[in-house]
Amino acid sequence: MGLLSRLREGLSRTTHQIVRRFDEIARRADAAGGRDRPLDADTLDALEELLISADLGVSATERVLSAVTNRRGSGTALRDLVKQEIRSVFDAVGDAAPASAGPAGAGGAPTPRIVLVVGVNGTGKTTTVGKLAHLCREQGQRPLVCAADTFRAAAVEQLAIWAERAGVDLVRAREGADPAAVLYDAVAAAKARGRSPVLVDTAGRLHTRVNLMGELEKMRRVAAREVSGAPHEVLLVLDATVGQNGLVQAREFMGAAGVNGIVLAKLDGTARGGIAVAIAHDLKLPIRYVGVGEALGDLLPFSAAEYVDALFDQEWSRGN
Ligand code: GDP
């Protein structure tokens, strides 16, 4: 299955809801006068309700509504306008990854790119690291994964299974070891073996937040000392099924961990997949990947254009 159809399938629960209700809104707009009259208050209310129920959040919803208020046009034109406005939310934060290659190291070998994967336990962090390793391999890279969630033996074991499935090297430490020391070992191994990127699974215990943030900061310092410009990416994994509450979690990580991109996991498990719009709008961070299932191949690079098309894709929704 192609990337686009996998995204559509992952979003299908959201799409079903949006398409069906949007059809009603479009009919209403046409019945109320179509091209010649601006949208009436009832139609705007219905649109607002739809966007909120899809989890776009209050401020992104307001932005879309203000773009369509006082506009004249058919139901189809309204759909295009809403899509265009949502697109522009993503365009405003960009979707490019930070520079991809590290600087040349001794002997001309490229130094590894370091990617920290952070987030609250249960959001899908370890699974994401496994899937990301697979994706990097498919793109011709030679990743190495680092098990730095040293407080959960189960997480290390789980990551070992993913590393094996993805066919990549794993650097792990004993339970209770210092995560920054494990990261140091992983970077040394990556340099020696010519591996890049180093994908780091970190701990996510919320109840000791101060310690957790301190630990992440220490890992950032070690990464920067070992590879200039590192960590190149700090990806925060958010669980799409948690909805708006995930945004509160996100803010806690953004400062201390220096998050510069989002992975939105479990998009397949929600009918409120509009949360992607709220994240881009409210956090001003690009969504880099979306998780659409539990298998190795179920992590997709995020594309705003494809996402918006999939959300409103009538053909797909009706045909399924
Ligand atoms: P961590 O505690 O943050 O490392 O979370 P895990 O990686 O252990 O994932 C928690 C649960 O979410 C597991 O049962 C995963 O299989 C599941 N999961 C992770 N990503 C996805 C996804 O994109 N879709 C679905 N449906 N489940 C996912």
Q: Hey, whose CA ends up nearest to atom 17 of ligand 1? A: 124
Counting from 1 in the atom list of ligand 1, the atom nearest the Cα of 290 is 23
Residues 263-280 pLDDT 10s: 999 999 999 999 999 999
For the chain (length 320 residues), average pLDDT per consecutive 10? Answer: 87 92 88 75 93 96 94 87 96 73 50 95 95 97 94 88 97 84 96 97 75 89 95 96 89 84 96 95 95 96 94 69
What's residue 255's pLDDT?
A: 75
Distance (Å, rounded) from C-alpha 301 to C-alpha 290?
7
What's residue 318's pLDDT?
A: 61
Q: Which residues line ligand 1 (CB under 6 A)?
A: 119, 121-127, 155, 204, 265-266, 268-269, 291-294, 298
Q: CA-CA distances (angstroms) from residue 309 to 79, 95, 252?
A: 11, 16, 31
Q: Hey, whose CA ends up nearest to atom 13 of ligand 1? A: 124
Q: CA-CA distances (angstroms) from residue 315 to 22, 88, 149, 178, 281?
A: 14, 23, 43, 52, 28
| Ligand 1 centroid distance, CA of 294 (Å) | 7
Cis peptide before 286 (omega within 30 of 0): no
| Ligand 1 centroid distance, CA of 122 (Å) | 6
What's residue 105's pLDDT?
A: 46
Residues 188-221 pLDDT 10s: 999 999 999 999 999 887 556 678 888 899 999 9
Q: Ligand 1 pocket check: which of 127, 199, 202, 300 to mutate, most ligand atoms within 8 Å of Cβ?
A: 127
| Ligand 1 centroid distance, CA of 145 (Å) | 17
End-to-end alpha-carbon separation of the chain, Å?
15
What's residue 254's pLDDT?
A: 84
Counting from 1 in the atom list of ligand 1, the atom nearest the Cα of 127 is 7
Distance (Å, rounded) from C-alpha 216 to C-alpha 235?
12
Q: Which two tokens stand for residue 258?
A: 């220096």
Is residue 148 within 8 Å of residue 221, measured between CB atoms?
no
Counting from 1 in the atom list of ligand 1, the atom nearest the Cα of 299 is 23
| Ligand 1 centroid distance, CA of 216 (Å) | 21
Distance (Å, rounded) from C-alpha 53 to C-alpha 35?
27
Q: pTM score, two decimals? A: 0.93
Residues 133-166 pLDDT 10s: 999 999 999 999 999 987 778 889 999 999 999 9
Q: Ligand 1 pocket check: which of 294, 298, 299, 302 to mutate, most ligand atoms within 8 Å of Cβ?
A: 294
Residue with tokens 């990337």: 3
| Ligand 1 centroid distance, CA of 153 (Å) | 17
